[in-house]
Amino acid sequence: MDKVLSNNPHITLKILNEVSKKLMETENLATCLASNDVDHRIICMLLEFADKYSKEVNGQIQVNIPLNREGMANYCGITRETMSRKLSKYEQDGLFEFKGLKKLIIKDLDKMKELIS
């Protein structure tokens, strides 16, 4: 492996870039989850999912959520009931709209980002 990396610096650079990217993502996640504010943790998680799993459909940002409500709650360190209540509140506030259980249409990305800044 050492020989391959030393003989192919472009491969080494790509690997370092990917490792660096993953490290930054992990650091951002740890910082976000260390927050005591539940709203902050949930919005951070949703924005991370939007960054990784979204696509534009008819001018809207559609996010395919990779977890169910229980999984999202565990991810944020809260109960499923709290997750469901908070998601319903955000939806009523016009931040996003769920289409089924795992599709999210973001309606106000700027407001979501503002909530965690």
- Per-residue model confidence as pLDDT tens digits over 54-87: 999 888 999 999 999 999 999 999 999 999 999 9
- Per-residue model confidence as pLDDT tens digits over 30-53: 766 676 789 999 999 999 999 999
In a 3-state reduction of DSSP, which class is residue 105? strand
Angle between helices 38-53 and 9-33 (to 10 degrees): 150
CATH class name, domain 37-117: mainly alpha
**Does residue 11 register a pLDDT over 90?**
no
Position 59 scores a pLDDT of 86
Domain ranges (residues) in the chain:
1-34, 37-117
